[in-house]
Amino acid sequence: MKYCAAIVSGLFLAMAVPNEGALYGSVLLGFFCLAPYFAALRLSRSYGEAALMGFMFGAVSHTASSYWLVFFEGYAIWTVGATALVYGIAHAAVAGFLRFVSADRIGGNRAVAPGVRSFRPLLTAAVWTVWEWLKSVGFLGFPWGLVAYALNNRPRMIQIADITGVYGLSFILALSSAVIAEAVFCVPGLRFVKNGKSLRVRGISRLNPALPGAAVFAGLLAMTLIYGVYRLSRPTPVCGHVPLLLVQHNADSRNRSELNVLGEAVRLSREGTEQFRNYSDYPRPALIVWSESVLRRPFEEYRSYYVKNPPDNPLLPFLAETGIPLLTGAPVVHNWERYEASNSAVLISPDGGILFSYAKQHPVPFAEAVPFIEYPWMKRFMRDIVGFDGSWTMGTEYVVMELPRGDGKTLRFGTPICFEDAFAGLCGTFFERGADILINLTNDSWSRRKSAETQHFAAARFRAVENRRVLVRSANSGVTAVIDAEGGILGMLPLFESGFLAMDVPVQISGNPTVYAVLGDWLPALCALGLFGYIVLSLAGQKRRPRR
């Protein structure tokens, strides 16, 4: 039953975050999806057994929520199989910490003091928050599947992200599950088995350890909702608008020809510019935005190609005719001999010049950048075993682009590429460097699943709230949308359909930076510090007392 509980909890977590059945996730499941897992760890007989439960939970939750990785070309055994293994091992380690803070005894020697038992739900929530933080940062960071995403479409709940980041919600939801797991062991008459012994809860007084955690949870939930109502009643000031044309050409760039993809993008752009005045107070857009990887050839070196192609509607003559700049994804080659190229966003002027170029800095691990690829043994392994031969060169500079926004002022914007808009630190740096808004270019069409598109969107949505700025997303197949500074959706195109979104996008800027913009991930850092202190004091106390 314990192992079944871990598996069921993994499935619950996958169902709580955005999925095929509920594109924006399940709020209800978010509040208790981890409870069966936490309860199972309380019943584990050893750290080895807890690790096995953790492995099963991690492998199941990751595979069930990110199963669409199977469509990543011919690398399913690596994108799904290897990542499920890695997350299983990672959760096996996390399970050890979860068992330690939820145990009735320290190291099997000293009973946990009654007062300390009252803090078990808080300690459990802290461990989970630190875990979700660690899995979301660094080169191997993959901020998908966070329990907090169950609340991504609840405006009153997500407003605290400007103070705590997404991890404030992770803590609250993990605390809810921890309180439920604690309460299960306090129900009078309940029988359960631990260390081979059948135990039975006999008195209602056993509810006491769950009450402090429940009280803290209720208080945090109430404060979160009150703060959400307050922030939504005082939205971030709008200091102007910029007319944008976002193009979603919905092309499988791996299976459709280069000219077909380019032709569809130009066709939609022409149609959008001709109809723009029907959607806007401006006669034409200040900028046309395409998604990542629309241009497959380096623009600078193949300028003559784009003068003539696509044959029935050439790109550069179209830009010159309309007088509108284009922001699009394209490779930029830095070394032709070794073909070292970056996955970049380029701002092309109407006369065909490159005004700005930003190279993606955070790669998809082992897909866009491979550690130690400079060594022959790694090259052979990736080419002969994995079947992957090549990677992008990563950028090192945050480029804030500029253009006239249509009302006599200048728009400054950052352009995170692909899943870079899921990383809070990277997006926050663009704002530190002076960006007014973010424009994300992404191509998730290879995933072939709406849940994959929406999971990315849910993660990115928090960047707007954290910084109280507008986030614009122009995606190949979705989610193409404009998100305001409160996380609300101002406009969106249907998934996996071609079309364009013409909008006067607001520029929202508050007078002062948010708490999160200033302090960053202070909450998970505080949780880590508190857990470290608890573990040290617990182990020190164990050594001072003789074994009984």
Looking at residue 262, its pLDDT comes to 95
Do 206 and 162 have their domain in common?
Answer: yes
Tokens standing for 42? Answer: 């309380």
CB contact set of 537 (below 8 Å; sequence gap of 6+): none
Q: Is 10 helix (H, G, I), strand (E, B) or coil?
A: helix
The domain in which residue 330 lies consists of 238-361+396-509
Do 388 and 349 have their domain in common?
Answer: no
Tokens standing for 162? Answer: 């400007």
Q: What is the mean pLDDT of each run of 10 residues along the chain (548 residues)?
A: 94 97 96 96 92 97 91 69 89 96 60 64 96 92 95 97 98 97 73 54 53 93 98 96 96 78 96 94 95 93 95 96 96 85 95 96 71 62 60 88 89 96 96 97 91 96 98 95 98 96 96 95 97 87 57
Residues in a beta bridge with 472: 439, 482
* Strand ranges across the sheet with 471-475: 401-404, 410-414, 437-442, 471-475, 481-483, 489-492
Do 18 and 6 have their domain in common?
Answer: yes
pTM confidence score: 0.91
Do 306 and 211 have their domain in common?
Answer: no
Residue 515 lies in a domain: no
Residue type, 59: A
Looking at residue 389, its pLDDT comes to 59
Residue 516 lies in a domain: no
How many domains does the chain contain in total?
A: 3
Do 278 and 192 have their domain in common?
Answer: no
Q: Which of 264, 292, 466, 486 is catalytic?
A: 292
Q: Residue 293: which region, alpha, beta or left (left: phi > 0; alpha: psi -120 to 50)?
A: left
Do 250 and 384 have their domain in common?
Answer: no
Q: Examine the residue annotation and report whether 360 is marked as an active-site residue of this protein.
A: yes
Alpha-carbon torsion, ordered 65, 71, 74, 79, to 10 deg: -20
Tell me, letter by letter, the H, E, C secondary structure of 309-342.
CCCCCCHHHHHHHHCCCEEEEEEEEEECCCCEEE
Do 69 and 174 have their domain in common?
Answer: yes
Q: Examine the residue annotation and report whether 194 is marked as an active-site residue of this protein.
A: no
> Of 346, 377, 395, which residue constitutes the final position of a domain?
395
Query: From CA 100, how far away is CA 148, in angstroms rounded?
Result: 24
CB contact set of 526 (below 8 Å; sequence gap of 6+): none
Looking at residue 313, its pLDDT comes to 94
Q: Which of 2, 264, 418, 466 is catalytic?
A: 418
Decide: 401 and 413 in contact? Cβ < 8 Å: yes
